[in-house]
Chain A
Amino acid sequence: DTGVSQDPRHKITKRGQNVTFRCDPISEHNRLYWYRQTLGQGPEFLTYFQNEAQLEKSRLLSDRFSAERPKGSFSTLEIQRTEQGDSAMYLCASSLGRQGGYEQYFGPGTRLTVT
């Protein structure tokens, strides 16, 4: 078990460009979460999946953001037409859900800088 992995670890992009991040959860974890963390703040929930179904989206997730989890395995988070306010650390976490416990295991994050 290699833990939750995220790719890339760092991304620098120009305002207006599209970016896509990938998260690979711990194998067999059926729940996957995306959070955003800005400097000096705690992580804020963006969205979560149970298997391939996206069950909840935060109001923070504007229509420029889209997340997918095809086949209930890895997940991607895409930001279209990036803005400077999108600069943050994007964290992914996974868990087994209620039956298997409730701990969320976090990945190392993708740090996005929009110039």
Chain B
Amino acid sequence: AQTVTQSQPEMSVQEAETVTLSCTYDTSESDYYLFWYKQPPSRQMILVIRQEAYKQQNATENRFSVNFQKAAKSFSLKISDSQLGDAAMYFCAYRTTGTASKLTFGTGTRLQVTL
């Protein structure tokens, strides 16, 4: 079974600084998708960024980028120029490419952004 591990329960970053959230996963599949989701307090979960395992190039979305290390099964999220609105729970998630398209989530990292 696939597992996703987020070893940082909480992180803090100053506004305008950069922070990296860690995620590791375990799978025997060779092709899969990885995601970072953001869940603001009392608000719904939204997709931040996704990575296809067959792509070697790291995904980027504006201030968000990932460091995908397939051999190490590592998928970290870097947030640059942090903003107060980035404060949220961040979940790393895994999905196979098969028809069973459920997401497997990590336990999350709570990100605080300070002035």
A104: Cβ under 8 A from any B Cβ = yes
Tell me the minimal C-beta distance from B25 to chain A in angstroms. Answer: 12
- Cβ contacts under 8 Å, B106 to chain A: 42
Tell me the minimal C-beta distance from B57 to chain A in angstroms. Answer: 18
Tell me the minimal C-beta distance from B1 to chain A in angstroms. Answer: 11
Q: How far is the CA of A95 from the CA of B45 in the complex (A)?
A: 14
Is A104 in contact with B100, judged by CB distance below 8 angstroms? no
Tell me the minimal C-beta distance from A28 to chain B in angstroms. Answer: 17
Q: How far is the CA of A43 from the CA of B43 in the complex (A)?
A: 14
- Cβ contacts under 8 Å, A44 to chain B: 105
Q: What's the tally of chain B residues with a CB closer than 8 Å to chain A? A: 22
Q: What's the tally of chain A residues with a CB closer than 8 Å to chain B? A: 29
- Cβ contacts under 8 Å, A102 to chain B: 33, 50, 95, 101
Tell me the minimal C-beta distance from B70 to chain A in angstroms. Answer: 18
Quick one: given A56-B100, A56-B102, are A107 and B44 in contact (CB under 8 Å)?
yes
Q: How far is the CA of A115 from the CA of B44 in the complex (A)?
A: 25
Partner of A109, one of B44, B100, B102: B44
Contact residues of B between 84 and 115, Cβ < 8 Å to A? 91, 93, 95, 99-108
Is A48 in contact with B102, judged by CB distance below 8 angstroms? yes
B47: Cβ under 8 A from any A Cβ = yes
- Cβ contacts under 8 Å, A72 to chain B: none
B11: Cβ under 8 A from any A Cβ = no
Determine the residue in chain B with the shortest Cβ distance to A58.
B102
Partner of B101, one of A3, A31, A35: A31
A residues in contact (CB < 8 Å) with B = 3-4, 31, 33, 35, 40-45, 48, 50, 55-56, 58, 91, 93, 95, 97-98, 102-109
Given contacts A42-B105, A93-B103, A108-B44, 5 further A-B pairs with CB under 8 A are A42-B91, A45-B103, A55-B99, A97-B101, A102-B33
A-B contact pairs, 20 of them (CB 8 A): A4-B44, A40-B108, A41-B107, A41-B108, A42-B91, A42-B93, A42-B105, A42-B106, A48-B101, A48-B102, A55-B99, A56-B100, A95-B101, A97-B101, A98-B101, A102-B33, A102-B50, A106-B37, A106-B45, A108-B44
